[in-house]
Amino acid sequence: MEERKELGKIDKVSFGVCRDRGYLLGINFTLTFGGGSSGCNTSHQVNMSEWNKNCKWSISEQEEYIVKMAWYVKNMLEESKVNDISQLKGIPIEATFKNYNELESFRILTEVL
């Protein structure tokens, strides 16, 4: 597995229900690289569907993931020294890609804030 890192910024961020899949709730990011010449999208979402034969998430599993997502957002806001997700726009990041172009993760570049 080949891994590469690339510097970029958060170009867009939103929190809410997924437009195409109304049962998904989460935080969504658009990351840009190379001065905006390239980019990618990533998100942290939870399935909010009621339990049925096609959706086997229990309420406790949904609640657990919602709490994890809230902590993820809280930590990101603290690292970025902002109070609201709308203030994350323009924050510098370092993205890690595997297999050349598959986004594995990104982190806030706290050392330059």
Note the pLDDT of residue 58. Answer: 83
76, 13 contact by CB (below 8 A): no
Sequence spans of domains, the chain: 3-112
Q: Which two tokens stand for residue 42?
A: 């990533």
What is the per-residue pLDDT across 47-87, written as a single tens digit (0 to 9) for each? 888 777 777 788 899 999 999 999 999 999 999 999 999 99
Computed over its alpha carbons, how large is the radius of gyration of the chain? 16
32 — alpha (psi -120 to 50), left (phi > 0) or beta?
beta
* DSSP three-state, residue 37: coil
Q: Which CATH architecture has domain 3-112?
A: Beta Barrel (2.40)
Whether the model pTM is above 0.75: yes
